[in-house]
Amino acid sequence: MNLDELNAIACKMVAPGKGILAADESTGTIQKRFDKIGVENTEDNRRDYRELLFRTDNAMKNHIGGVILFDETIRQKAKDGTPLVQLIEAAGSVPGIKVDKGAVPLAGAPNETITEGLDGLRGRFVEYHKLGARFAKWRGVYEIADGKPSHNAVHANAHALARYAALAQENGIVPIVEPELLMDGDHDIDRCEMVTEWILKEVFQELYFADVKLEGIILKPNMVVPGMKCPRQNSVEEVAERTIKVLKRCVPGAVPGIAFLSGGQSDEDATAHLSAMNAIGGLPWALTFSYGRALQAAPQKAWSGKGENVAAGQKAFAHRALMNSQASLGKWTKANESAA
């Protein structure tokens, strides 16, 4: 492991005005996305859609610092035979790979999950590095409900995240550490704040025990928001203030960047919250986006699987990338959204 190289990769991914495109949907997940726009879920259509994104030059070169890929995608070639990884690299962005194998029931913790994928991960990292990946992603999932999350679930997922991160760094790959507290439920923002703080403290303790070097990671957390079914939905300013408060309590300044997941928020809400946080200022880490649906829902709808709509899809993607780039600098406004 060369920590200087890992740090340089991480800093490139979250350079000013840049964030991360999460294009790592599994075949099953992208099926749901394609069903909504009436597109058949074939390997060619998945490739064509991702190629559309990666060839959106303005967005990729100016606003996207890294792209998270699925196993199929990192091996695919564009229609003209160019590996998709090379399209990403040519735009000055960093290719990455999702390496977890999803959440399964956690023994001893009813209705809670643990993320699998550690078995054989060292060998997979060797292969992915050869394929061009320079960062990776692993997601732990937590839920607020009666008695949840349990200490068992919080600790087990934090431990798995740390083991994954150590293996990634060992192989010259920057780990994105993603502990996601889901927005599902009717809990209020106070409960989300308390549980998010608990999860992050447990994660960073396990990272320390695993000797993971914080200068060579990216954190991908949820924002502090009320549950989607909560009667009171807090203001953009309060979400920003509470999220920053928790991050300052839990995330050491050695971490180069924090790239939020959108977690089911609307496109505009995810952008507005990020911009409000950056407007607060005085932060020890870069604060940016690592969005999937909040970057892709608009271009998917505009494209709808039709060759004649590629330009429209690229325009929609470029717009959302620009809005989130502005948010990562604390400069987004509703007026900018309307003008575009």
Taking only the tens place, the pLDDT of each residue in 72-128 is 999 999 999 999 999 999 999 999 999 999 999 999 999 999 999 999 999 999 999
1 has pLDDT over 80? no
Average pLDDT on 132-160 reads 97
**Where do the domains of the chain lie?**
3-339
pLDDT at site 339: 67
Binning pLDDT at 50, 70 and 90, where does residue 264 land? confident
Q: Give per-residue pLDDT as tens, 203-260.
A: 999 999 999 999 999 999 999 999 999 999 999 999 999 999 999 999 999 999 999 9
Helix (H) or strand (E) holding 260: strand 257-260
Radius of gyration, CA atoms only, the chain = 19
The residue annotated as part of the active site, out of 18, 98, 137, 220, is 220
Binning pLDDT at 50, 70 and 90, where does residue 275 land? very high
- Is 268 annotated as catalytic? no
pLDDT at site 172: 98
- Is 25 annotated as catalytic? no
Structure-token pair, residue 93: 């962005």
12 has pLDDT over 70? yes
Q: What is the number of other CB atoms lying within 10 angstroms of the CB of residue 61?
A: 13
Higher pLDDT, 339 or 92: 92
pLDDT at site 8: 98
Q: Give per-residue pLDDT as tens, 298-317.
A: 999 999 999 999 999 999 99
- Give 106-113 contacts, CB < 8 A, sequence gap 24+: 106/152, 106/153, 106/156, 108/152, 109/150, 109/152, 109/153, 109/156, 111/143, 111/145, 111/148, 112/142, 112/143, 112/148, 112/149, 112/150, 112/152, 112/153, 113/141, 113/153
Residue matched to tokens 């509703």:
334
Helix (H) or strand (E) holding 20: strand 19-23
**Distance (Å) of CA 261 to CA 47, 51, 128:** 23, 22, 23
Q: Give per-residue pLDDT as tens, 147-190.
A: 999 999 999 999 999 999 999 999 999 999 999 999 999 999 99
pLDDT at site 205: 98
What span, in angstroms and rounded, lies between the C-alpha atoms of 29 and 36?
12
pLDDT at site 337: 86
pTM to 2 decimal places: 0.96
pLDDT at site 338: 79
Alpha-carbon dihedral sign for residues 241, 245, 251, 253? positive
The residue annotated as part of the active site, out of 25, 51, 112, 178, is 178
286 has pLDDT over 90? yes
For residue 337, give the amino acid letter: E
Structure-token pair, residue 301: 């709808």
Structure-token pair, residue 292: 């999937």
Binning pLDDT at 50, 70 and 90, where does residue 333 land? very high
Residue matched to tokens 């950056």:
278
Query: What CATH class is the domain 3-339?
Result: alpha beta
What span, in angstroms and rounded, lies between the C-alpha atoms of 319 and 148?
38
